[in-house]
Structure 1
Amino acid sequence: MNKSKGSRLLSCYDEKRHNLIRRINFAWAVESDENKKQKKSSKESAVTQWQWQSIVENIQLAHQELSKQMML
């Protein structure tokens, strides 16, 4: 395999990887300074745990999709 072909494959892989990462919604992680200063109730804590679970699942799905595409 020549170097330019390898570079194209890598850039294609990187492009697909970046597109999958862009689909992950990180908006929940951005909080205003006021929200950070307030104590979280147990309900808010449960929501935060669910949101972390959601991001982990999204990353796992993106990884699976990338793995499938790399096999093609």
Structure 2
Amino acid sequence: MSERHPATNHLLSQFAYGHLPEHLMNISRMASGLAVQMIEQLDDGPELTAGLRKLLEAKDCFVRQAVIDHRSSEAAR
């Protein structure tokens, strides 16, 4: 990937998922893939930054729901 604006690089780094347990990694991987696709298609700019930030917020929500779901399924055992 070519040289990108520091904000783009920073936001992309927040989509890392290798440190997560597998049940969370799969959720995070999907959002990361979309972030990479957008960065490949779009130039740096305020709307890309805003979109990545909102996608990051959405990813965090999805991961939190996956944590809740996992805890619920563990408690049901």
Higher Rg of the two aligned structures: 1
Give identity over the alignment, percent.
13
Give the RMSD, CA atoms, in angstroms: 3.0
Q: Once the 2 structures are TM-superposed, how far is the Cα of residue 43 of structure 1 from its aligned partner?
A: 1.0
- Give TM-score scaled by structure 1 length: 0.55
Residues matched between the structures, number = 54
In the TM superposition, 1:1-72 aligns within 5 A as 18=23, 21-24=25-28, 25-26=30-31, 27-31=33-37, 38=43, 40-72=44-76
Unaligned runs of 5+ in 2: 1-20
Which structure carries more helix by proportion? 1
- Give TM-score scaled by structure 2 length: 0.52
More relative contact order, 1 or 2 (CA 8 Å, 6+ apart): 1
